[in-house]
Amino acid sequence: DTAVSQTPKYLVTQMGNDKSIKCEQNLGHDTMYWYKQDSKKFLKIMFSYNNKELIINETVPNRFSPKSPDKAHLNLHINSLELGDSAVYFCASSPYRASYSNQPQHFGDGTRLSIL
Amino acid sequence: KQEVTQIPAALSVPEGENLVLNCSFTDSAIYNLQWFRQDPGKGLTSLLLIQSSQREQTSGRLNASLDKSSGRSTLYIAASQPGDSATYLCAAGLAAGNKLTFGGGTRVLVKP
């Protein structure tokens, strides 16, 4: 039973298109995240939502818009795709507590986005 | 701004040797320090999480230490096996939103 699942696993599309990546977690967690891993394998956080509320929004172009219909889902929509958007996008989730110091994040397998 | 560095970037050892992976961070005001494993084409698997009040955590052959004052964490893997071959990532956890700042990873190859 997959804990954090992302779809699609691979996404190949042309520059200028709009695409969405979906993420779902069945762990009962309150907090979900989107990370970007570039070609040099550096992982950077993009967004974090707690119970459908945005709590982290790093310096990300506004072409990227996260949407959380409920606390088990966090989707990522990307408008006007550019070559530099090619990367692996990871979704993650964790419980939300006043002191989350002992709660690791659980990651999905990633979505490999390639822009032609 | 928190920066996390991992040295070396790659490591190759014969089976049975102990592995030592280093992680350093610039801001000691962390909530926790986490170690993850990433296999090719896969997501990250959490290995160990050390809270800021702790000095180390152990799980089986894995032991991770944390020295906040010097901004360092070390992951030890005893008696390495070929199945330990993967990329190991450390991440410093900040309070706000459980935000993680990742290092660049250490790619490990254990030769049979």
- What pLDDT sits at residue A99? 52
Interface contact B97-A55, CB threshold 8 A: yes
In angstroms, the CA A40 to CA A108 distance is: 19
At A30-72, the pLDDT tens digits run 899 999 999 888 899 999 888 888 888 887 899 999 999 998 9
- What pLDDT sits at residue A55? 83
- Which residue, among A33, A43, A99, would best test binding to B if mutated, counting the most B CBs under 10 Å from its CB? A43
Partners of A98 on chain B (C-beta within 8 Å) are: none
Cβ distance B87 to B107 under 8 Å? yes
- What pLDDT sits at residue A40? 81
Q: Which residues of chain B carry a pLDDT beneath 50? A: none
- Residue, of A30 and A100, whose pLDDT is higher: A30
Token reading at A30: 């309150």
Interface contact B46-A105, CB threshold 8 A: yes
At A80-99, the pLDDT tens digits run 999 999 999 999 998 876 45
| A11 pLDDT higher than 80 | yes
- The beta-carbon neighbor of A102 closest among B49, B100, B102 is B49
Is A31 in CB contact (< 8 Å) with chain B?
yes
Q: Phi and psi for A84 in degrees, rounded to 5?
A: -70, -10
